[in-house]
Amino acid sequence: MSGEYKLLIDGKLVDGDSTMDVLNPATEARIATCPRGSARQLNEAVAAAKKAFPKWANTSLDERRKVLIRVAEAVESRREEMARLLTSEQGKPLKEAQGEVDITASFFRHAASLSLDPKVLEDSNARRVELHRRPLGVIAAIIPWNFPLMITAFKVPLALLAGNTIVVKPAATTPLATLMFGALIADVVPAGVINIVTDANDLGDVLTGHPDVAKVAFTGSSATGLKVLGNVAKSMKRFTLELGGNDPGIVLQDANPKDVAPGIFQGAFFNTGQVCLALKRLYVHESQYDAMCDELAKLAREAVLGDGLQQGTVVGPLQNATQYEKVKAYLSDAHANGKVIAGGNVPDRPGYFIQPTIVKDIEEGTKLVDEEQFGPILPILKYRTLDEAIARANATDYGLGASVWSSDRARAKEVALKLEAGTVFINKHADIAPHIPQAGAKSSGLGVEIGEEGLLEYTQVQVVNEAL
C-alpha cells in the first residue's frame, strides 16, 4: 500500500524520503504505509511555495475564486471514499466523517464568495487615502488529528483567496485523508500553490523556523502553541494560534433537564470529546443536579461505542495511543475524586476505546475538571448561585468556548456576555460554519480564524496615501 499515498510538492505527487505506518484506532491494525516527509522535502515545499507566490498573488481575485470552487468540486466528487478513509484513520463515526468532508468543501466554496476590495478612507481636496490588503507570502498550516480535513479547510481557502501560497503539515497519526485531498487537487491548483508534507511529529520546528515562511497558522495544543510562538517571534512572522480549551457549560435553573440533555451530550461527546470546542465541564444548579446527572447518564449508557465504520456507532475510539493513555489517566482521576454514574470502563477489546462516562460529585482542584480531558468523560459540578457558577466557569486560563442552557433567551444572553470565551453558545455547544469567526480568548489562542475576520489575518494592510 506504500505507493498509494504521495506528498504534494511543487505540483508533483512524490514519495516521501521514508515511510511510516498509519493505524486504524478502532482496530490498531495498519491501514497503510504512507510517505514520511523529511526536512529536505519540507524545504523543497517551502521553496516551491515561494516560487509560486508572485504569479499566484498577481492572478485576479476571480481566477483564485474559480480555483477554490474547483477544489470544492474535487472534494465533493469523492465524498464517500474520502469519508471512509477519514473514519479509518481518525476513528469518528462515518456520518461525522461525511459531515467533515461536506464542511471542508463548503469552506472552499464560501471563501470563493468573499471579497478583498480596497477601501477608500478619504477622498478630499487634501488627499486620497486607500487601504489595500496585500498577501503575505508562504503560509505554514499545521494541523492536529481531530479534524484533519476541516481544520485544513479553515486555513487553505482563505490563505489562497488572499493571494498567498501554502505548505500544509498534517498530524502524524492522520495524514491519509489530507494526502488524498492533495492527490485530488494536484491538477486543479497551479504548481506550488498548495503543498502537503507529512512528518512523524518531528518537522514542526523546521517549518515554523523557516526564514521563507511569512505566517504560521497553527491549530493544536497550548503546549505546542507556546513552542510555535517562541519560534515565530525570532523572525517576526505573522501567526494565528488556535489552541486548547476547557469549555464550561452553565445550565440555568429554568432549563428543563430532559430538554437540554441531548444537546449537552452532543456538545461533550461529539468526535469522542476530541474537539477543541467541546463542552468539558458542566455547571448545574443544586435544585436540578440529580435530575440533570440522571438524564446525561442515561444518554451515555445508550450511546453505542464502536468502530466508526459500523452503522449505529455514536462514539468512536480515541484517535491515538498517546491520547488514549492520557484519557485513561483522567478516568482514574474520575474514579478517585468523583462518583462515576455511567461508563467508567475501558472495554477489553482491540482499539483505543473508553466508554462514554458521566462523573458527578466532583469539584475543581481535580485533573478532570481543571485540565482539558479531550476525551469522552464529562464532569458535572453543582452550583448554588449563578454568580458563583459564572466565577467558577471563568476561573481558568483557557477561553475558547462556553455555553449557557436556558429557556429564557434574554437571561441566557446576559450570562453569555459575562463569560470569558471567544465563542459563547446558547442552548447548543460547538457550531462551526465558514462565515462564523473563531477566536480563542486568554490562553486558548491568538488571532482569528474563519470568516471575513479570518481572511484579513492572511493579509498585510497597505495604505496608499496620495497628496492632491
**Least distance to ligand NAD, CB of residue 23, Å:** 15
- Kindly state whether residue 419 participates in binding ligand NAD, applying the rule CB under 6 A: no
The residue among 142 and 196 lying less far from ligand NAD, judged by its C-beta, is 142
Among residues 242, 295, 372, 449, the one annotated as catalytic is: 242
The residue among 195 and 219 lying less far from ligand NAD, judged by its C-beta, is 219
Collapsing DSSP to helix, strand or coil, 331 comes out as: helix
The residue among 217 and 297 lying less far from ligand NAD, judged by its C-beta, is 217
Among residues 34, 44, 96, 276, the one annotated as catalytic is: 276
Residues in contact with ligand NAD, counted by CB under 6 A, come to a total of 28
The alpha carbon torsion through 336, 341, 344, 348 (nearest 10 deg) reads 140
Collapsing DSSP to helix, strand or coil, 196 comes out as: strand
- Kindly state whether residue 36 participates in binding ligand NAD, applying the rule CB under 6 A: no
- Kindly state whether residue 90 participates in binding ligand NAD, applying the rule CB under 6 A: no
**Cross-strand bridge partners of residue 123:** 128
The residue among 44 and 449 lying less far from ligand NAD, judged by its C-beta, is 449
- Kindly state whether residue 400 participates in binding ligand NAD, applying the rule CB under 6 A: yes
- Kindly state whether residue 432 participates in binding ligand NAD, applying the rule CB under 6 A: no
**Least distance to ligand NAD, CB of residue 203, Å:** 8
- Kindly state whether residue 351 participates in binding ligand NAD, applying the rule CB under 6 A: no
Contact of 444 with 245, CB cutoff 8 Å? yes
295 is catalytic: no
CA distances for 42 relative to 2, 121, 333, angstroms: 19, 41, 41
**Least distance to ligand NAD, CB of residue 154, Å:** 8
Pairing of the two strands 279-285 and 247-251: parallel
Q: How far is C-alpha 373 from the geometric centre of its chain's CA atoms?
A: 16
- Kindly state whether residue 221 participates in binding ligand NAD, applying the rule CB under 6 A: yes
**Least distance to ligand NAD, CB of residue 240, Å:** 10
- Kindly state whether residue 171 participates in binding ligand NAD, applying the rule CB under 6 A: yes
**What is the DSSP secondary-structure string of 264-302?**
HHHHHHGGGG--TT-EEEEEEETTTHHHHHHHHHHHHHH
Residue of 374, 405, 425, 458 interacting with ligand NAD (CB under 6 A): 374
- Kindly state whether residue 228 participates in binding ligand NAD, applying the rule CB under 6 A: yes
**Least distance to ligand NAD, CB of residue 239, Å:** 11
Q: What are the grid coordinates assigned to 24, written together? A: 486504524
The residue among 116 and 203 lying less far from ligand NAD, judged by its C-beta, is 203
Q: What are the grid coordinates assigned to 86, written together? A: 477519514
- Kindly state whether residue 375 participates in binding ligand NAD, applying the rule CB under 6 A: no
User: CA 346 to CA 405: how far, in whole Å?
Assistant: 31
Backbone angles phi, psi at 426, to 5 degrees: -120, 120
276 is catalytic: yes
Residue of 157, 175, 192, 244 interacting with ligand NAD (CB under 6 A): 244
Q: Which of the stretches 20-28, 112-120, 164-172, 424-432 binds ligand NAD when contact is defined by CB under 6 A?
A: 164-172
- Kindly state whether residue 142 participates in binding ligand NAD, applying the rule CB under 6 A: yes
User: CA 253 to CA 88: how far, in whole Å?
Assistant: 42
- Kindly state whether residue 100 participates in binding ligand NAD, applying the rule CB under 6 A: no
Site string for ligand NAD, 245-284 (x = CB under 6 A): x------------------------------x--------
Contact of 228 with 218, CB cutoff 8 Å? yes
**Cross-strand bridge partners of residue 381:** 283
* Single-letter amino acid, residue 432: I
Q: Which of 144, 163, 245 is nearest to 154 (CA)?
A: 144
CA atoms within 13 A on the CB side of 335: 9
The residue among 36 and 133 lying less far from ligand NAD, judged by its C-beta, is 36
User: CA 296 to CA 298: how far, in whole Å?
Assistant: 5
Rg of the chain's alpha carbons, rounded to an integer? 23
User: CA 311 to CA 160: how far, in whole Å?
Assistant: 37
Site string for ligand NAD, 191-210 (x = CB under 6 A): ----------x--xx--x--
| Residues 6 or more apart in contact with residue 414 via CB below 8 angstroms | none
N residues, the chain: 468
- Kindly state whether residue 109 participates in binding ligand NAD, applying the rule CB under 6 A: no
Active site residues: 242, 276
Give contact residues for ligand NAD (rule: CB under 6 A).
142-146, 169, 171-172, 201, 204-205, 208, 219-221, 224, 227-228, 242-245, 276, 372, 374, 400, 440, 445
